[in-house]
Chain A
């Protein structure tokens, strides 16, 4: 057997089975029967097979450690030097020329043509928990879960501007049209929810250093569109078009969907076209989404102590806290991958003033998520990722820091990750990762994430334009050292 999975072939074999099933059941008769007996209404579903995609990796390559992922995405590039990578030496050098031995021939963004000066960390650091991990005091709540998280200080990437760096962090390539991480996961493992999308994106804006994001960051690229991330909106319907039109209540909408199903069923009886069966089940799924999304976004079932834990002031206000809680509710209901963007980390200026604001925006909810998952017994098989698309220069840009690709920090928790450890390190000025055995390129992070999800990153491939593509392109090494 040829190893690369052929989606089209798989689909056509499903379609064929569906077709044979159809012939056996005789859907048209069923549809008519529905008119008389609404209890039979669900039967077409059986014929069409379960609506949601079960993944092409069955069984997966490795035991699954992380069944679901919540990616807390700090868009804009949070400074590692004010968060998870303390550099006292840089403090000493503050205001002096930055050694050229570090920077010569290296890429710069907004510091192009500028004199490079060292800029000491603006935040205080301290050691937290039993593990003694060093975390800035701007993140006291994350400090409080230091023993649950693994800090990776040796992250590096290849793209120095936001847009391509987001593409790289999400899809492992700066070339557009490549599938994002969540899409690959969904394609590989499928969803566990019949009623909700398997890959959901939530965005919240933040206050300063705001960066745009793009729908391509959760695009399925050349993978089938069904693996796209679904962005939940903070205003109006959470999911586009999930609300009934004005003047149509849930039960009349149900009647419409039933009637569409009946008529599509009659068409299916006339024609050999498996797409009709799929269409029928997609309408079912859509209707179930119409019912389950309002339930999902209704926080009234959440006790006050949980709202307080996350710091949710107004449920559904689009704040990071509200979105993180929504993310937990999503994964509880079977969503595979949730990405929660906070878009305010581009601190070119007044970092000492602005970064604490962003930190305060996310600190409590990020830590609350880990605690909450833990108390629910979900942390063991839920992976939490916290980080941005790149780091920031140890050189100052006025009172802030520029984009930086040679070093940045992320942290991971749960889902098979070793808790309370630090992985990788940077040089004394935080300019570049040093220990090659613990370096973490974006491809390595992706390989590690896939591994935790039971996937060998070299074997989850999709053929496009004659080539078998994968999330990690042609490289990537699993960081076994951080896997528990």
Chain B
């Protein structure tokens, strides 16, 4: 057959034909009628009629365009082969006359001087490719516009013989190709496999055994569709869909360059999850991310979405040149938009016109110009040598503006939960002391003492007057004391202050520091020209006869006015570690209240020493109170508290109980529990979160940078514009186009690329390989789609459905094609090893995040919360030691947040969490449309030894051993992990393994104890330690199986 073809095409000498591949060629020649040559690699063959897009463009693009293509600066002999008119004018070929065509002569000649491609390049044409070019010229050398740049038109749904097989049009397109090749599709997968597939594909979590059992026994015709609908409606759907989107958006928790500091952006992730869950139409989704801030009266949510434009890596490295980095940021945005929405590689035209596609350098910079209004800084710092007045005083702990603060539904929910816990805790405390006579009398004493204190100090505060004076040694500023206790400093420089206060017998739960305006200092609270000062307060209790004082620490402090201080990009909660006064209130009194870590009881002989670190306050006053409040500024007492305290009703009011707990029980467990929960509450930041957004300012000038050189000012100034060869964005009266115009153009129905890009990428998620397999390049160097009409049909369907993402996904997973068994029959494997024709499903290894989620879900450890700040899974100690500016430490989450889904993992761009990295999650430094799928020893080590998996295994063991017999336990384990029962062969093998493990751990119970301590989770008590350890080993095996991490 092959030789016949050679004769037909009049080739003289089929050299270079590799005999060992002949069997291959014959086997697949039948298949390749309308499929691209790259589809069945190494299987070149001749189609019936040459089609430029399918047969010729890939050959010309790959071998000729570099010198004879769109890039003018590298063009040789002024010949371009990508434009027919020019190729004809240069007499590259004569349509219909291959033997007289120069191109044919050049590709067949053996004269190295004439030969094309030149022998000193790495390009070589195969004999088949030469034959195709020749026949194409013989047939008239017709060109076609590149398929991806022609707006898709809904093709007719093809008729198929076996019409009963089809469920929706997807099946018609797939089946027609299969029927043409006489390759029958595969049978439907068994129901349990199907449900596991659907679950892992749609929500990234395995089905529970109950869900599997219910589905398997559900005989109703709509059973499958019901399962699909249930999963599409699950809130975990949004989490699953977010993962690939976050790769594209290059979402990470750190900035990526140099010191790789934290950036505040988790609300953007929540936005993406919510958008998928609410099935936000894709056009809206895209618009909000590119230009949410420019939408008329844009909502906080739309502003959060615009964080998309701020997710490029940024720097604050000393010595960085702003101009250079602005060029990098701009180029990143062009690459991101181009990959994400256009499936194109515009990045190639940063330095030169694209070598394969019609994107010009001007197109690149015109696209960049759309983002010229994005408020940003090349270097997010203020260095002496490169001052940055906009970011005055910024250091490595500062955030990356502009940011907005938004409500976080997750944090608000958590606050509510914590509030409940505090209520519970206080109730338990009350019940406990009421039941304890000793504690009861302690309470009574405290109450009486409190009432006495209130008689002297009705607001619960007692102002202290210092007995010392300024002292040279301690470098204390000179001061005078007024009768109201206020201390007024003289002088005008920053100095420290130290005061000694005699105390009376009583309790101290909180200390108040007031900064008062002083007439001596122009009515300001500051004694020098500055507009703000930083104060660090420390306190010491001196109890004679002891010489040394006892340092008092504070667990929380708050002020009515302050400037934010930052650590790791976040505002520091509270002012216990330092208080910076508010610039705009420098003539107003400032008040700060410090809650004692351990409230104290004092005697008449005691002294309180207060030190204020170097500061420039004008006047201060110190007071103490025995009454602490969760909100420090409300410490002391109001009328209501005073009344409640005077009443001796039992039990006391909730308020009194709370004040008692916070003020007079410093060593009790209840108080330390309370502080722990309170800290969690504080960490919720009142349910608010900062997040980077796009803000618009006057667009900066954008120039073409010749060869990408940012220092050059020779290039042409460009305005925002879409690629010149594509349908143009509507231009209203020549007004400058904005990001909003760009977004509208991207989702316009005449944009040929967007819908195809989206549908093609989504297809990959459910079928393993995309229809045009290079998802980030639908251009000339990409792949001719295996099913071009299907791609177009879905693209049109997507747009006409109103960019309905769930609709398109539902079509895919409802199709018969999707439901096929993923175990290819040998003949499929022989004829279509890459399974591009889809005569079966393809197995797919789970993505990194879902490998984690799957193990946590199987073991029952998974925390199913949706959204919120990033969390910290276990990670080897010292992994961040190579990060500086500032130095970084990693503290694994110590509570239920340890078990959150992988997509919430803290994403450190320079050192990605090793488990995620080992399973091919990208650092998200660049926009990524397709992850690698590797199979490495690091993956095996992770599954075997990462504490996350070991802990999951031991917790799972605790679940499994609740079944009575070994065989029932194996069954339970397999149903949990693999949605099926163990086969007898497997059970036999595992029984032997289990026996060995039992023997070992029975003989070495101390080893069992060690194994059962891995991770935070409590040790289950469902069996003895050796038994649990033996089953932990079994569970480690099962969690490590290839099948467990694969969706079949």
Please give the residue numbers on chain A whose beta carbons come within 8 Å of chain B beta carbons, in ascending order.
1-4, 6, 8-9, 12-13, 15-16, 19, 23, 28, 31-32, 35, 51, 105, 107-114, 160-164, 174-177, 197, 203, 205, 210-216, 219, 222, 224-226, 228, 230, 233-237, 239-249, 252-253, 255-257, 259-260, 262-264, 266-267, 270-273, 275-276, 278-280, 282-283, 285-287, 289-290, 341, 343, 348, 402-403, 458-459, 461, 463, 465-468
Given the interface pairs A4-B122, A109-B319, A286-B937, the reply to whether A245 lies near B1011 with Cβ below 8 Å is yes
Which of A197, A286, A458 is the one whose CB lies under 8 Å from B944?
A286
Which of B124, B345, B383, B985 is the one whose CB lies under 8 Å from A466?
B345
Contact in complex: A263, B321 (CB < 8 Å): no
Q: Which residues of A have CB within 8 Å of B918?
A: 225, 240
Contact in complex: B920, A252 (CB < 8 Å): no
Known A12-B834, A234-B881; 8 more pairs at CB < 8 Å:
A32-B989, A112-B321, A113-B385, A225-B936, A245-B947, A259-B993, A263-B989, A263-B990
CA distance A210 to B886 in the complex (A): 12
Contact in complex: B1041, A212 (CB < 8 Å): no
Which of A109, A175, A225 is the one whose CB lies under 8 Å from B934?
A225
Give chain B interface residues in 797-840, CB to chain A under 8 Å. Answer: 823-824, 826, 829, 833-834
Distance of B112 from chain A, by nearest CB (Å) = 16
Contact in complex: A266, B941 (CB < 8 Å): no
Query: Does residue B68 face the partner (Cβ distance < 8 Å to A)?
Result: no
Distance of B378 from chain A, by nearest CB (Å) = 11
Q: Which residues of A have CB within 8 Å of B16?
A: 1
Q: Which residues of A have CB within 8 Å of B992?
A: 35
User: B996-1009: contact bitstring with A at CB < 8 Å (1 yes, 0 no)?
Assistant: 11001000000111
CA distance A263 to B1036 in the complex (A): 12
CA distance A383 to B705 in the complex (A): 39
Given the interface pairs A241-B942, A241-B944, A286-B941, the reply to whether A256 lies near B1007 with Cβ below 8 Å is no
Distance of A119 from chain B, by nearest CB (Å) = 16
Please give the residue numbers on chain B whose beta carbons come within 8 Å of chain A beta carbons, in ascending order.
16, 41-42, 62, 122-124, 126, 256-260, 313, 315, 317-321, 324, 328, 339, 345, 347-348, 355-356, 383, 385-386, 711, 774, 776-777, 779-782, 823-824, 826, 829, 833-834, 843, 845, 876-879, 881-885, 909-912, 914, 917-918, 920, 922-923, 925-926, 928, 932, 934-942, 944-947, 950, 983, 985-986, 988-990, 992-993, 996-997, 1000, 1007-1014, 1029, 1033, 1036-1038, 1040-1043, 1046, 1048
Distance of A414 from chain B, by nearest CB (Å) = 28
Taking CB as reference atom, which chain B residue is nearest A222? B932
Q: Which residues of B have CB within 8 Å of A197?
A: 937
Contact in complex: B345, A107 (CB < 8 Å): no
CA distance A343 to B881 in the complex (A): 11
CA distance A30 to B996 in the complex (A): 21
CA distance A239 to B580 in the complex (A): 44
Q: Which residues of B have CB within 8 Å of A174?
A: 328
Q: Which residues of A have CB within 8 Å of B946?
A: 241
Contact in complex: A161, B122 (CB < 8 Å): no
CA distance A402 to B318 in the complex (A): 10
Contact in complex: A9, B923 (CB < 8 Å): no
Q: Which residues of A have CB within 8 Å of B914?
A: 240-241
Contact in complex: A260, B1041 (CB < 8 Å): yes
Given the interface pairs A225-B934, A225-B936, A259-B990, the reply to whether A163 lies near B1014 with Cβ below 8 Å is no
Contact in complex: B876, A236 (CB < 8 Å): yes
Q: Which residues of A have CB within 8 Å of B1008?
A: 247
CA distance A259 to B1041 in the complex (A): 10
Given the interface pairs A286-B940, A466-B345, the reply to whether A271 lies near B823 with Cβ below 8 Å is yes
Taking CB as reference atom, which chain B residue is nearest A227? B934
Contact in complex: B319, A402 (CB < 8 Å): yes
Taking CB as reference atom, which chain B residue is nearest A13? B42
Distance of B787 from chain A, by nearest CB (Å) = 20
Q: Which residues of B have CB within 8 Å of A267?
A: 1041-1043
Contact in complex: A216, B319 (CB < 8 Å): no
Contact in complex: B257, A163 (CB < 8 Å): yes
Given the interface pairs A12-B41, A264-B1042, the reply to whether A282 lies near B1010 with Cβ below 8 Å is no
Contact in complex: B940, A212 (CB < 8 Å): no
B interface: dominant SS? loop
Contact in complex: A215, B826 (CB < 8 Å): no
Contact in complex: B926, A177 (CB < 8 Å): yes
Closest 6 CB pairs of A and B: A466-B781, A247-B1011, A109-B319, A247-B1010, A286-B940, A3-B122
CA distance A12 to B16 in the complex (A): 22
Contact in complex: B925, A226 (CB < 8 Å): no
Which of A114, A160, A210, A282 is the one whose CB lies under 8 Å from B940?
A282
Which of A19, A236, A272, A283 is the one whose CB lies under 8 Å from B823?
A272
13 pairs, CB–CB < 8 Å, chain A vs chain B: A19-B829, A110-B318, A112-B321, A163-B258, A177-B928, A235-B877, A242-B945, A282-B940, A465-B777, A465-B781, A466-B345, A466-B779, A467-B781
Distance of B119 from chain A, by nearest CB (Å) = 11
Distance of B455 from chain A, by nearest CB (Å) = 60
Taking CB as reference atom, which chain B residue is nearest A12? B833
Taking CB as reference atom, which chain B residue is nearest A276? B1042
Distance of B1044 from chain A, by nearest CB (Å) = 10
Distance of B927 from chain A, by nearest CB (Å) = 9
Given the interface pairs A236-B878, A252-B997, A466-B345, the reply to whether A282 lies near B936 with Cβ below 8 Å is yes
Distance of B38 from chain A, by nearest CB (Å) = 9
Q: Which residues of B have CB within 8 Å of A1?
A: 16, 124, 126
Q: Which residues of A have CB within 8 Å of B823?
A: 270-273
Given the interface pairs A226-B934, A256-B1037, the reply to whether A215 lies near B986 with Cβ below 8 Å is no
Contact in complex: A230, B938 (CB < 8 Å): yes
Which of B257, B318, B934, B938 is the one whose CB lies under 8 Å from A224?
B934
Distance of A393 from chain B, by nearest CB (Å) = 11
CA distance A405 to B877 in the complex (A): 36
Contact in complex: A212, B882 (CB < 8 Å): yes
Q: Which residues of B have CB within 8 Å of A255?
A: 993, 996-997, 1033
Distance of B133 from chain A, by nearest CB (Å) = 15
CA distance A215 to B917 in the complex (A): 10
Q: Which residues of A have CB within 8 Å of B985?
A: 28, 32, 266
Q: Which residues of A have CB within 8 Å of B917?
A: 215, 228
Which of A6, A16, A28, A247 is the one whose CB lies under 8 Å from B833?
A16
CA distance A244 to B1011 in the complex (A): 10
Which of A256, A271, A458, A467 is the one whose CB lies under 8 Å from B122?
A458
Given the interface pairs A279-B935, A286-B940, the reply to whether A110 lies near B124 with Cβ below 8 Å is no
Contact in complex: B774, A275 (CB < 8 Å): no
Contact in complex: B257, A259 (CB < 8 Å): no
CA distance A249 to B1003 in the complex (A): 13
Given the interface pairs A212-B885, A256-B1036, A279-B935, the reply to whether A245 lies near B989 with Cβ below 8 Å is no
Contact in complex: B348, A467 (CB < 8 Å): yes
Which of A163, A213, A234 is the one whose CB lies under 8 Å from B878?
A234
Q: Of A234, A239, A341, which is in contact with the most chain B CB atoms at under 10 Å from its CB?
A: A239
Taking CB as reference atom, which chain A residue is nearest B345? A465
Q: Which residues of A have CB within 8 Å of B345?
A: 465-467
Q: Which residues of A have CB within 8 Å of B993?
A: 255, 259
CA distance A243 to B1010 in the complex (A): 14
Given the interface pairs A215-B912, A226-B934, the reply to whether A249 lies near B1007 with Cβ below 8 Å is yes
Contact in complex: A279, B1042 (CB < 8 Å): yes
CA distance A267 to B1038 in the complex (A): 12
CA distance A271 to B186 in the complex (A): 14
Contact in complex: A163, B884 (CB < 8 Å): no
Q: Which residues of A have CB within 8 Å of B934?
A: 224-226
Contact in complex: A214, B1042 (CB < 8 Å): no
Distance of A442 from chain B, by nearest CB (Å) = 16
Contact in complex: A275, B1042 (CB < 8 Å): yes
Contact in complex: B258, A212 (CB < 8 Å): yes
CA distance A336 to B923 in the complex (A): 25
Contact in complex: A161, B319 (CB < 8 Å): yes
Distance of A372 from chain B, by nearest CB (Å) = 26
Q: Which residues of B have CB within 8 Å of A279?
A: 935, 940, 1042
Which of A3, A271, A465 is the one whose CB lies under 8 Å from B774?
A465
